[in-house]
């Protein structure tokens, strides 16, 4: 084997393309040829330099990720969970007659059962969040939207004289208490207004 053939086999061996028999012939030649041995050492060193490098520095984003994940509040967590669980159980129990018997003042049987199903679903969600408080922030948008819609509907009905204000307050106070407890359990989050321009870019990369 001449040096040119050995150099080609050294390159093939570095790339993992040389057959075992070719590697043995190349090694025999390198053992007796200093020029090819030096080339082999250089090729191996270059291969390691290209394939192995220091790990890139990655900043620790744990705090930023946890802040955006909205973990449940650690303070007063137990009493919040217990209170929300009781609200959920009480509200679901109150809605059972609507679902089973189809009874709700001023509503048809069909509408009453739909209202009962929706109400039970909300209060079961409260019980589930009391059991798994890390889910509080996920349920909050649904529960808050329902509370806002309910308040708006109640205001319209009271203004039109369809229902009395004290009756609406008594009927929906448990819903509002549950949403408030859910909000506190989710960490009392506040709406984030969208930012535009250079400030938004700086904030995203900070």
Report whether pLDDT(202) > 80: no
Amino acid 177: pLDDT = 92
Residue ranges per domain, the chain? 3-51, 73-185
Distance CA 71, CA 187 (A): 7
Report whether pLDDT(204) > 60: no
Backbone conformation region of residue 197, classed left if phi is above 0, alpha if psi is from -120 to 50, else beta:
left
Model confidence at 190, pLDDT cuts 50, 70, 90, reads confident
Amino acid 106: pLDDT = 65
CA-wise closest residue to 131 among 77, 94, 95, 92 = 77
Specify the range with the lowest mean pLDDT, choosing from 8-17, 25-34, 107-116: 107-116
Model confidence over 121-167: pLDDT tens digits?
999 999 999 998 888 888 999 999 988 888 888 888 888 887 888 88
Report whether pLDDT(59) > 70: yes
Report pTM: 0.57
Tokens of 88: 């959920």
């Amino acid at each position: 084997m001449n040096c040119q053939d050995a150099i080609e086999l050294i390159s093939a061996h570095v790339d993992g393309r040389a057959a075992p028999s070719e590697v043995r012939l190349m090694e025999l030649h390198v053992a007796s040829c200093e020029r090819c041995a030096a080339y082999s050492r250089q090729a191996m060193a270059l291969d390691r330099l290209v394939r192995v490098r220091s790990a890139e520095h990655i900043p620790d984003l744990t705090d930023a990720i946890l802040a955006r994940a909205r973990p449940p509040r650690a303070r007063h967590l137990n009493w919040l969970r217990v209170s929300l669980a009781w609200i959920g159980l009480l509200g679901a129990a109150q809605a059972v007659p609507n679902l089973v018997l189809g009874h709700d003042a001023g509503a048809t049987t069909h509408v009453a059962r739909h209202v009962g199903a929706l109400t039970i679903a909300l209060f079961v969600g409260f019980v589930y969040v009391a059991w798994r408080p890390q889910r509080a922030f996920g349920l909050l948008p649904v529960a808050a939207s329902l509370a806002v819609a309910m308040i708006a509907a109640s205001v319209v009905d009271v203004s039109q004289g369809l229902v009395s204000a004290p009756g609406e307050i008594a009927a929906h106070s448990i819903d509002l208490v549950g949403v408030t407890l859910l909000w506190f359990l989710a960490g009392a989050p506040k709406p984030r207004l969208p930012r535009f321009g250079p400030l938004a870019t700086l904030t995203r990369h900070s």
